[in-house]
Amino acid sequence: MATDSEFFRALLDNFYDGVYFVDRERLITYWNKGAERISGYAAAEALNTHCHDELLNHVDEDGNRLCQGRCPVAQTLADGRSREAEVYLHHKAGHRVPVHVRVAPIVDPGGAVIGAVEVFSDNSAKMSALHRVQDLERMAYVDQLTGLANRALTDITLRARLDELSRYGWPFGVLFIDIDQFKQVNDRLGHEVGDAVLRAAANTLRGAARSFDLVGRWGGEEFVAILANTDARTLQAIADRFRALVEASVVSAGGAEHVFTVSVGGTQATADDSVETLISRADALMYASKQSGRNCVTIG
Regarding pTM above 0.85, the answer is no
Q: Where in the chain is the domain with CATH 3.30.70.270?
A: 126-299
Q: Residue 277 to residues 73, 148, 214, 215, 221: CA-CA distances in angstroms?
A: 48, 23, 19, 19, 21
Q: Where in the chain is the domain with CATH 3.30.450.20?
A: 4-122
Active site residues: 221
Q: Please, what is the angle between helix 191-208 and helix 232-247, to 10°?
A: 140
Per-residue pLDDT tens for 212-255?
999 999 999 999 999 999 999 999 999 999 999 999 999 987 77
Longest Cα–Cα distance of the chain, Å, equals: 73
Whole-number pLDDT of residue 41: 95
Amino acid identity, residue 66? Answer: L
Whole-number pLDDT of residue 243: 98
User: Thinking of the domain 126-299, which architecture would CATH place it in?
Assistant: 2-Layer Sandwich (3.30)
Whole-number pLDDT of residue 1: 41
Name the burial class of residue 230, with classes exposed (0-12), middle (13-18) and buried (19+) by CB atoms within 10 angstroms of its CB: buried
Neighbours of 126 (CB within 10 A): 19
CATH number of 4-122: 3.30.450.20
254 dihedral zone (left: phi>0; alpha: psi -120 to 50; beta): left
User: How big is the chain by its Cα radius of gyration, in Å?
Assistant: 21
pLDDT-derived band at 127 (thresholds 50, 70, 90) equals: low
Amino acid identity, residue 173? Answer: G
Whole-number pLDDT of residue 10: 74
DSSP 222: E
